[in-house]
Structure formats: C-alpha cells, structure tokens
Amino acid sequence: MSLDPSFARIAFLGLGKMGLPMASRLVAAGWMVAGFDPSPAAAEAFVAAGGRAAASAREAADGASVVVTMLPDGKAVRAVLTGPDGVASCLAPGAIVIDMSSSAPVGTRDLARELAGAGVVLIDAPVSGGVKRAVDGSLAIMVGGDKADAVRPLLDCMGSSLFETGPVGSGHAMKALNNYVSAAGLTAACEALRIGASFGLDPALMTDILNVSTGRNNSTDVKLKPYVIPKTYTSGFSMALMAKDLRTADDLARHEGIPAPLSRTVAALWQDALADLGAEADHTAIDAFLAALPTPPKE
C-alpha cells in the first residue's frame, strides 16, 4: 500500500492535547488528513492548522487507507472501531489502523484478531514525550505489529525515536511499563524532596545534586523545578491518565503471573491520589497528595 502524500487519505480520531499537534504535523508534511473530535474547539483548531474536520468518526474514516486513533484508552478505541457506528466496517481490506493511545496490551491483541477477520491490520504505536515533543515531532514511538514499515513515513512525521517492539500489543505493553517506571521515579523524587526539606535541605539544590548523581531520572530532569518545587503542577499530563497506565502495568504483571509488589503499591497509591484530587489534576500533583498524607510520629 502506497502512502504517497498526494494520494493516501489519513483519518485521525482524537484531537486532544496530544492528538491535535500530532495530526497537525501530518498535515504540515503534506498528508491528506481528516480529523474528528467531539470537541468543537478541537475541530476548529485542526482546521486552523490546515486539516479537514469531519462531522463523525465514520466520515473521517470513509475511504481512508490509514486510521490513527489517539483516544483515552483501549475501551474508547474498541468502541470507535467496532461499536454500533464503528469505523472498521467502512474500511477497505488492507487498511491499517494505528492505535497511538495508551491501551491495554491484552485487549489490543484481541482487537487485532477481530479486525484481521475483516482484512484490517492493527498496529499499536503509543507515544512518550508529552505535548512539547508532540508539537516539535520528537516523540518516542513504540510500535507493535507486522506492518510498521508500511507506515514508517507517517510515524517519522510525529516522532524522532521509533522502536519496533515486536508483535501487536507489545508497544502498548512497553508504554504502560515505561509510565510505571516514570511514576515510580516521580513519587520517589517528591518524597525525597519533602524529607530533605524537613531536614533543612534546599529542594532546588537537592534537584541539582540528583541530576549529577545516581538518582537522576526524567522527573528530576524536567518536572521538579518547573512543576513540583513551585507547586504549579501544570505539566500537561493528567493524574487520570497516569493512574490508568499504572493499572494497565499492574494488570499486565498479573496476566503474566509476575510478582510485582512495587508496581502494585505504586498503582494503588496513584489510584488513591486520583480519588482525592480528581481526574483533571495534573500528574505532578502527586506531590500535593503526598504532602497531605497524615504525618507519622517522629522516632
């Protein structure tokens, strides 16, 4: 299947914080992209970027050779593809669906088998890097499935680091596990800063030391000084999405029968934070949740 930008029609379903800049990059690269999002503001922003806004997911996907989904979770992806008004039924055999959402890997494998019955190929290609890297096209993309080469030119428009992780579902597994490691690192960093501050250490100095020492991680690099220390909590990635990815990682460990006590603990902690702070809270507000926990007696 040719993906010549003069001929291939791309449908992009989900024009949220990540989806909009990703779809806009495809438009800027010359692809013919029809986008759909139930938010009128998102649709208007996509039109302003040069894309075509469709009135429904089916309208966007009608005649498309590639459908990209960037939705909240695998359940939403399944619904838009195979529900009563699902777009899979309007796709021609040989069409490719690229699920760039953070979906559950076991569900992705099941969905891939269902779509294969209609001649539609499913590739999972979740991303990491946040809104800033979605805008500049430097996302890390984890690609599971057998047709990655066919859509490589498209993925190259959105990411600078592409990794073929193996069979379908493996990309989603890698994304969930990456976010587990990220959340565990953020939790540890926030706890360390609170402990150190109580003892008299300066949090900014602590961050500088961590970043030239063995405690360095993504959170110490890019989250502590801009979002945690000043307590702005505005990184752009929600508490709800992180908690969901942590449940996915924990569910994967259970599915595989792998003992993962820290995964279970972190997932439970973030679920409590989600219940306390609400779905709209930024994920860096895990610091505020930790600060509000009951203070244990000093020894």
Q: Are 195 and 186 in contact (CB under 8 A)?
A: no
- Spell out the domain ranges in the chain: 9-166, 174-291
Question: How high is the pLDDT of residue 297?
Answer: 83
Give exposure, 217-231, as e/b (b: 16+ Cβ within 10 Å). Answer: bebbeebbeebbbee
Residue indicated by tokens 């792998």: 258
Task: List Cα–Cα distances, 6 to 28, 29, 33, 63, 296, in angstroms.
Answer: 13, 11, 11, 14, 64
Question: How high is the pLDDT of residue 6?
Answer: 41
In a structure prediction context, what are the per-residue pLDDT tens digits for the chain, which is 299 residues long? 445 444 478 999 999 999 999 999 999 999 999 999 999 999 999 999 999 999 999 999 999 999 999 999 999 999 999 999 899 999 999 999 999 999 999 999 999 999 999 999 999 999 999 899 999 999 999 999 988 889 999 999 999 999 999 999 999 999 999 999 999 999 999 999 999 999 999 999 999 999 999 999 999 999 999 999 999 999 989 999 999 999 999 999 999 999 999 999 999 999 999 999 999 999 999 999 999 999 888 77
Q: In a 3-state reduction of DSSP, which class is residue 122? A: strand
Q: Is the pTM of this model over 0.75?
A: yes
Q: In a 3-state reduction of DSSP, which class is residue 80? A: helix
Q: What is the CATH number of domain 174-291?
A: 1.10.1040.10
Domain 9-166 belongs to what topology?
Rossmann fold (3.40.50)
Question: How high is the pLDDT of residue 148?
Answer: 86
Which residues are annotated as catalytic? 175
Query: Positive or negative CA dihedral for 208, 209, 213, 215?
Result: negative
User: How many whole angstroms separate alpha carbon 213 and alpha carbon 167?
Assistant: 36
Strand partners, 142: 163
Please provide residue 161's backbone torsions phi and psi, each rounded to the nearest 5 degrees: -130, 105
